[in-house]
Amino acid sequence: MSTPERLIEATQELLWDRGYVGTSPKAIQQRAGAGQGSMYHHFAGKPDLALAAVLRTSAEMRETAARLLDGPGSAHERISAYLLREREVLRGCPVGRLTMDPDVMASEALRAPVDETIGWLRGRLTGILQEGLDAGEFSPGIAPDEIAATVVATVQGGYVLARASGSTAAFDSAVRGLLSLLAPHTTSAPAV
């Protein structure tokens, strides 16, 4: 792996674990096994490197979600696959956690990819729910955009509940609860 790749990857991990303030240039260099000269040769400074890491993390989240949401199956099956996928629940969402970081939110450059990624996810979920509604899979009258917002909120809130309790059970319970709420509006929903 090239030095810039190691630096970006190290910054991704540190932002996820420590946030922006806790991600010092020295910690990045140590984790990446790179010297100060190498870091500043490839990146203008910590903000530039953090932006590269946030962009990469956002792209990876979209790629992971798209594999499931664009996969085979009914709308309900694809949303269920997204909700039930394996995650590092106790670490939280690497993108969602950035919303709790005041330094990230104060920087338009760092906040923009976070907002765009969450917006993309809501939009993709809305589209899938609309596809299911158009195909008669869901009861008429559901609001795809509101359900999409609920899916995103359940996942992000599930991470918070799990981290607070120190157990993945809280996340799993939130996901099962959402699927059970969606089931009566699904004409062919599998048992949850």
Which structural domains are found in the chain, ordered by start? Answer: 57-185 (1.10.357.10)
Give the SS3 label for residue 107: coil
Tokens of residue 153, six digits:
């909120």
Q: Rounded CA gap, 31 and 10, in Å?
A: 6
Q: What is the pLDDT of residue 192?
A: 43
Tokens of residue 60, six digits:
């990876």
Count of Cβ atoms closer than 10 Å to residue 42 Cβ:
18
- Angle at 85 (CA atoms; ends 84, 89), nearest 5 degrees: 90
Q: What is the pLDDT of residue 16?
A: 94
Q: What is the pLDDT of residue 141?
A: 86
Provide φ and ψ at 161, rounded to 5°: -60, -45
Q: Are 118 and 124 in contact (CB under 8 A)?
A: no
Mean pLDDT of successive 10-residue stretches along the chain, which has 192 residues: 94 94 94 91 93 97 96 95 96 94 95 97 97 93 95 97 96 96 75 42
